[in-house]
Structure 1
Amino acid sequence: MPISDSQKQGLRELLVNDKNLAVLLQLAKAATKNVCKTEDPEEALRLITAHIPDIYVLLSKRAITKELLFTYLSSRRADAATDFSKADLIAKVIQYWKQEHQPSTELSGDQNSSLLHKKNEEDYPIHTIARKFGEWFFERLNADTFSLVDLWADAALHLTIIASDGINEWECETAAEVLSTLTSAKQQFDFYFNPNLTHAGIQGRMDSYGQFVVICCGTLHSSDSCVGIFECAFGLLRDPFADNNWKPKKVKCFLKSEVQPPELHYLSLSETLQTALELPVPTDDFN
């Protein structure tokens, strides 16, 4: 979603202040790949919006934390319940800016219909759950807290890693093997998974067997540099013995190193998820 004038005004409220100035300058430095190192807040904001022309992508940056967004909403007395994910907070911030700063001029019928359709699609329950699952999974994987109880006992994994020295593939058919393979690969290559938690980077689908499929993508990082991209598909089933929560039954991961990786990866550009993208998308609640 392009950054509108009302969102630029909201970004100014969010970042151009003493408390969040360091975040603003860090974002400007990263957006220009260390070329521009301005100390002027307004110039930093201009650089950010020029080089990151998508509000969801910008607010999903690691430098903009859940705490920062929550504090901002709370200070504005906007709705920010404690049961949230970062994706939820981003949506609330954008909605708040729309209400507070949107010009009074009305959209044409076609524009209004198009925007309403896009908003409604992002809010489908299957996509909302997919975003929450993606944030939960990668937070635990990055923190090395993902465990056996988070998987079905007979969980299966197909992992492909493409690097400069060749292609490596692993296939596992038990939870213990899946956990060991994922954590070993992460630690061996010192990977940090940065998922694209916008609608352009994570969505839900339903396969022909009635299985909930989460498809997502993002960038791979090592230390302070981006080293590649990843694409994942999760087949989820509810576990009646774990508060009926969704748990991975099947996991397919594609990791690829790149000399010049993109700043953010999108499902539309994925190499391995195009077939999954064509699966049906339920529009209502599902069990």
Structure 2
Amino acid sequence: MPISDSQKKGLRELLLNEKNLAVLLHLAKGATKNMCKTEDPEEALRLITTHIPDIYILLSKRAITKELLFTYLSKRGADAATDFSKADLIAKVIECWKDEHQPSNELSEGQTSSLLHKQSEEDYPIHTIARKFGEWFFDRFNADTLSLVDLWADAALHLTIIASDGINECKCSTAAEVLSALTSAKQQFDFYFNPNLTHAGIQGRMDYYGQFVVICCGTLHSRDSCVGIFECAFGLLQDPFADNNWKPKKVKCFLKSEVQPPELHYLCLSETLQKALELPIRTDDLNGLL
């Protein structure tokens, strides 16, 4: 997500203070690959917003800790539960900035009404359904409760695993084989899939055959450590015999181990989903299912 003017104001509040000045200067140095070692806070802020043009990537930097974000939210009286992840805090901070830094220009009654009813892209039904599906799928998958009835009988899978010992690929074309291949990979490597359920990590598209495509990414974890990333594309069709629920017909999954994996993974940085990101986005209610 590009850094908006309101988010730049929020970053100023977050970082341009005595307590977090060292974090700001560290970020500026890292953003310029140590080419610029400014001690001027205003210049440092300009550098990081110029060289790190995505607000999610910026707030995910290791220098911006969960404690820093939690303290910032607490001082503003925002509701930040103690059972949280860094991704949750980032989303909450961005939401606060959206609410606090709206343009203050006077608007006519008609303009105000239009602004209030204007729908942001991340709230399009196609993206809302994608997030609900992603949360549902990975909750079941991680809990080992995903079953054959959750897939189309002729579901197909293309699974690619890149590890230190090489590349493994698997293709199969029945629900039983798909479920077996996914489960085997998960158990073999003791993976836990942590999807990025923000708009920057999961979205919906429509392919040229009218199939609903969910594209998502996240990090792979083994026990208490992050060990890699994953990228998935699900081709979904509605099942009229299952309350018109969306079920995977095609699954493409890319798993990659990394020595220093990111704290969060983003669609804009994906290796395998760039073509899918170019597919059309529907703005209607997908046959009124929501």
* Residues in 1 aligned to 2:106 and 2:252: alpha-carbon distance in whole angstroms: 42
Q: Give the aligned partner of residue 45 of structure 2.
A: none
The change in CA–CA distance for 1:210 and 1:191 in structure 2 (over 3 A counts) is same
Shift of residue 105, structure 1, vs aligned partner: 3.3
Q: Give the aligned partner of residue 170 of structure 2.
A: 170
1:204-251: CA deviation from partner (whole Å, max 9, x where unpaired):
111111000001111111111111111100000000111100000000
Displaced runs of 4 or more, over 6 A: 4-10, 55-59, 87-94
Where in structure 2 are there 5+ consecutive unaligned residues?
15-47, 49-53, 61-65, 67-73, 80-86
Q: Give the aligned partner of residue 183 of structure 1.
A: 183
* Residues in 1 aligned to 2:89 and 2:204: alpha-carbon distance in whole angstroms: 19
Q: Give the aligned partner of residue 104 of structure 2.
A: 105
TM value normalised by structure 1: 0.65
Q: How many residues align?
A: 220
The change in CA–CA distance for 1:132 and 1:58 in structure 2 (over 3 A counts) is farther
1:25-74: CA deviation from partner (whole Å, max 9, x where unpaired):
xxxxxxxxxxxxxxxxxxxxxxxxx9xx9579979xxxx9xxxxxxx9xx
Q: Give the aligned partner of residue 143 of structure 2.
A: 143
Q: Give the aligned partner of residue 229 of structure 2.
A: 229
1:71-130: CA deviation from partner (whole Å, max 9, x where unpaired):
x9xx999xxxxxxxxx9999799657755x44773499xxx9xx99x9621111111111
Q: Give the aligned partner of residue 132 of structure 1.
A: 132
* Residues in 2 aligned to 1:189 and 1:202: alpha-carbon distance in whole angstroms: 24
For residues 1-287 of structure 1, what are the structure 2 equivalents within 5 Å?
54=55, 98-99=98-99, 101-102=100-101, 105-106=104-105, 120-287=120-287
Shift of residue 138, structure 1, vs aligned partner: 0.7
* Residues in 1 aligned to 2:170 and 2:206: alpha-carbon distance in whole angstroms: 25
SS at match of 1:263: coil
* Residues in 1 aligned to 2:185 and 2:245: alpha-carbon distance in whole angstroms: 26
Where in structure 1 are there 5+ consecutive unaligned residues?
11-49, 65-71, 78-86
SS at match of 1:161: strand
The change in CA–CA distance for 1:90 and 1:256 in structure 2 (over 3 A counts) is closer
The change in CA–CA distance for 1:151 and 1:163 in structure 2 (over 3 A counts) is same
* Residues in 1 aligned to 2:98 and 2:267: alpha-carbon distance in whole angstroms: 26
* Residues in 2 aligned to 1:95 and 1:107: alpha-carbon distance in whole angstroms: 22
| Larger Cα-atom Rg | 2
SS at match of 2:145: coil
Identity of aligned residues (%): 77
SS at match of 2:226: strand
Shift of residue 4, structure 1, vs aligned partner: 6.7
* Residues in 2 aligned to 1:103 and 1:215: alpha-carbon distance in whole angstroms: 30
Answer yes or no: is the 8 Å Cα contact 2:91–2:198 preserved in 1.
no
Shift of residue 132, structure 1, vs aligned partner: 0.8
TM value normalised by structure 2: 0.64
* Residues in 1 aligned to 2:106 and 2:96: alpha-carbon distance in whole angstroms: 18
